[in-house]
Amino acid sequence: MKISILSHPFVNENNPLEGFKLLQNAGFDFVDFSFFTQLPYDEVVNGHTENFFSRPLRDVKDFYRPYAEAMKETGVFAHQCHAPFPSYTPNDAMNEAICTAIEKCMAVCVDMRCKFIVVHPYFSAYPQRMDGETRWRLNKEFYTRLIPCAKEYGVEICLENMFIEYRGRLYASACSDMDEAALYVDRLNDIAGFECFSFCYDTGHQTIIGKDMRENIRRMGKRIHTLHVHDNDGYRDQHMGPFMGVGDWDAFIQGMQAIQYSGVLNLESGAVFRWSPREIWPQTLSLLAAAARYLGDRIEAR
């Protein structure tokens, strides 16, 4: 099974080629390209409607051209990418700016030979303020707008299971229930008239809210086309490597086997590098690659 990892923090605008070579040498086949570095979380929640993606599309594509060239030189292409987030704020103007940013990211995906873009669903930061019907209505409006770009650029939009923290407590949120998530994907594909929506299964988010990975993966089934594989202590979204927390990896493997997953195994374990000195990044990346290979081999050994 091919393996991948989030491009952040290894690949940056100063020397994209150096970052891709680092990942190549560690044994990764692909990256999950981080578009959110140019429109960070803080800018979104603080309402920065004028941002990097406000510039014309040709300028955005020019900015990312060195990344695409580095991918070609190393052969480490973007199997999937991660759109800026959050997708929903109380600020309508910011929500419009986020949609515009995601549409431009989808255009850049073509240059990176990237088939999938992970786009967080709408959800409220206040669990008691958005019922299921309202959440579906907002998500339907949001994702439906992206359908023309999905068709034009041949990019598949992946929803993701989410959680929220509110006043020190953790709550399940949009698409954390697999029945709801499956309904979202199926309804949106019906609206589109072709398959342009699928699912990115996030192991860390499922661990936080205490979901059974084996059962939830089975329920989501073949709709899972991409992965965010990471671990945590069961209380915080720590984005550690597999086997560094309390994740039930046997259940994950069994679930993946049950649906005969044959896609790329992608790690979203960038937080490991917040406390890892740069001097040992190559060794740390090699360790994470070994963990990803191990999981992939177990899944394929059906």
How many CA atoms are closer than 13 Å to the CA of 87, on its beta-carbon side?
A: 24
Distance of CA 128 to the CA centre of its chain: 26
User: What pLDDT digit, counting tens, does each position of 38-91 carry?
Assistant: 999 999 999 999 999 999 999 999 999 999 999 999 999 999 999 999 998 989
Neighbours of 160 (CB within 10 A): 21
**Amino acid identity for residue 286 in this structure:** S
Q: What are phi and psi of 107, to 5 degrees?
A: -65, -40
From residue 181, give the alpha-carbon distance in Å to each of 151, 188, 198: 22, 11, 10
Q: What pLDDT sits at residue 54?
A: 98
Distance, first Cα to last Cα, the chain: 13
From residue 35, give the alpha-carbon distance in Å to each of 40, 63, 260, 269, 300: 9, 12, 30, 16, 30
Domain regions of the chain by residue span = 3-300
From residue 81, give the alpha-carbon distance in Å to each of 7, 105, 128: 9, 9, 31
| Residue 67 three-state SS | helix
User: Per the omega criterion (within 30 degrees of 0), is the bond before 16 cis?
Assistant: no
Q: What pLDDT sits at residue 165?
A: 81
Q: What pLDDT sits at residue 277?
A: 93
| Cα–Cα distance for residue pair 94/109, rounded to 1 Å | 23
| Cα–Cα distance for residue pair 143/211, rounded to 1 Å | 26
Mode of pairing for the β-strands spanning 3-6 and 265-267:
parallel
DSSP assignment string, 4-59: EEE-TTT--TT-HHHHHHHHHHHT-SEEEEEGGGSS-HHHHHTT--SSGGGS-HHH
Model confidence pTM above 0.75 = yes
Fold for the domain defined by 3-300: TIM Barrel (3.20.20)
- The answer to whether 122 and 139 have CB atoms below 8 angstroms apart is yes
Neighbours of 79 (CB within 10 A): 22
Q: What pLDDT sits at residue 125?
A: 66
Closest residue by Cα to residue 128 from 167, 178, 89: 167
Mode of pairing for the β-strands spanning 169-172 and 163-166:
antiparallel
User: Which residues of the chain fall short of a pLDDT of 50?
Assistant: none
